[in-house]
Amino acid sequence: MSEAVAQHRDAQGLLRVPARLRWTRAASRLPPVVGDSLPAVLLLLNVVTTRTPHEVPVAAALTAALTLPLLWRRRAPVAVFGAVAAAAFVQWLAGVQLPADVALLVALYTVAARTGRRGTLAAAAVTQAGVLLACLRWAADGAFLTPFVAATATTVAAAVLGVNVRTTRAYLAAVEERAGRLEREQEQQARLAVAEERTRIAREMHDIVTHNLSVMVALTDAALCTQHSAPGRTTAAMHQVSETGRQALTDMRRTLGVLRTDEPDAERHPLPGIAQLEALADQMCAAGLPTRLDVHGGHDHVPATAQLTVYRLVQEALTNTLKHTPAGTRAKVRIQCSAAAVTVDVTDNGPLRPRPAATPPPGHGIPGHGIPGMRERSAAYGGPLRAGPLPGGGWEVHTRLRLDGGAVASA
């Protein structure tokens, strides 16, 4: 039975806590003027209840003059302090002692909390002068020092407390402003990262789609031409079209982040690099562009991202040759690997074709794709790209990718 009573009391206590919290929250939501008016009301009631009838009018008027200006102390702290100090001086002239003198300390605290150092020192000096005058007039004989020291300590405490509040408020404002600035910077960096990722995906998709579609179109045209005269070559060409399409799908899935590393396709189709250039050359030969590949130097030390850049540069250069040159054109790819750099040279013997613009015309592509995209890839490794006609005919794409840390490569 006693245990049940104890549980009932505990339950009642738990029920009382939310009620207290509700009162606290309700009080915190009240306007500041309500809290500032409460001392004035209490001091006026004290005057009415403790003074004799003939003293009440003067005491009540002086109390009101001392306390009512505090209602506006947050809006105009200096003006309110001046009004309270003037009322205190009138009180001193009248020779009336009142508990409402604490209003001068409240006004001093407000000035120290909301104004600068000069305003605080001036208000403290005025208050201290009032303390001296009050002690000289109302201190008992031989007891001047004790009340003067106590009142001076109270004045200093009010001023120091206000200065601490002002300092804390300024610190919190600075911290909040810094947090807001950091948040804005993080949002900006996130937007830049998203834009860079979109650019990377768009560049990868352009290279993948353009190359594979160009190869598939060339193989399909070849299959159509040989479907009656050489059915075997037609079948081989269509098989190559199918394999090219599957490779394009795999590359697109990897680019878009859909292909997980734990899937079997991730091992069967690794990130293309220098080792896959031979298969790329064979693919271009099958599409009708005889391509010769020369790789000098070992490439095991070349980072995977740099190897991907080399592969995409060669892929885009050969795709442009396949699209813009007639049948019979031959291409040559030369890769020179060293400890500090990778040099890429792609040349062909096709006829002279117009130099590509840095920015394609409206409706003919997105800026940053094609040769501009190749420039971006090369610039990521500190390598300027040269793409243009050769003096004796043909076209050349040349760049040198630095691997010595002099350039920041984008993964």
| Per-residue model confidence as pLDDT tens digits over 301-318 | 888 888 888 988 998 889
Residue 215 lies in a domain: no
| pLDDT (0 to 100) of residue 335 | 94
Q: How far is residue 292 from each of residues 5, 205, 207, measured CA to CA in Å?
A: 95, 26, 21
Is residue 410 within 8 A of residue 196, CB to CB? The reply is yes
Whether 3 shows a pLDDT value over 60: the answer reads no
- Pick from 187, 204, 222: which residue ends a domain? 187
Q: Are residues 311 and 381 in the same domain?
A: yes
**Lowest-pLDDT range, 18-22, 214-218, 248-252, 301-305?**
18-22
In this prediction, residue 344 has a pLDDT band, given cuts at 50, 70 and 90, of very high
CATH of the domain at 296: 3.30.565.10
Q: Are residues 317 and 406 in the same domain?
A: yes
Q: Are residues 25 and 64 in the same domain?
A: no
| pLDDT (0 to 100) of residue 359 | 42
Q: Are residues 308 and 397 in the same domain?
A: yes
Which tokens hold the place of 128? 């201290």
Residue 89 lies in domain: 31-187
Longest Cα–Cα distance in the chain? 133
Q: Are residues 316 and 293 in the same domain?
A: yes
Q: Are residues 17 and 40 in the same domain?
A: no
Euclidean distance between CA atoms 83 and 81, whole angstroms: 5
- Pick from 187, 207, 232: which residue ends a domain? 187
Euclidean distance between CA atoms 90 and 4, whole angstroms: 66
Q: Are residues 154 and 51 in the same domain?
A: yes
Q: Are residues 81 and 19 in the same domain?
A: no
* Dihedral sign, Cα of residue 281, residue 282, residue 286, residue 291: positive
Residue 298 lies in a domain: yes
pLDDT tens digits along 92-146: 888 888 888 888 999 999 999 998 889 999 999 999 998 898 888 887 776 888 8
Residue 321 lies in a domain: yes
Residue 311 lies in a domain: yes
| pLDDT (0 to 100) of residue 2 | 46
Higher-scoring residue by pLDDT: 35, 335: 335
Q: Are residues 26 and 127 in the same domain?
A: no
**Lowest-pLDDT range, 2-6, 51-55, 255-259, 396-400?**
2-6
Quote the number of domains for the chain. Answer: 3
Task: Give the pLDDT mean for 168-188.
Answer: 91
If residue 336 lies in a helix (H) or strand (E), which one and from where to where? strand 331-337
Whether 160 shows a pLDDT value over 80: the answer reads yes
Q: For all residues of the chain together, what is the average pLDDT? A: 79
Euclidean distance between CA atoms 320 and 26, whole angstroms: 73
Residue 165 lies in a domain: yes
Q: Are residues 24 and 158 in the same domain?
A: no
- Pick from 164, 187, 210: which residue ends a domain? 187
**Lowest-pLDDT range, 58-72, 136-150, 174-188, 218-232?**
218-232
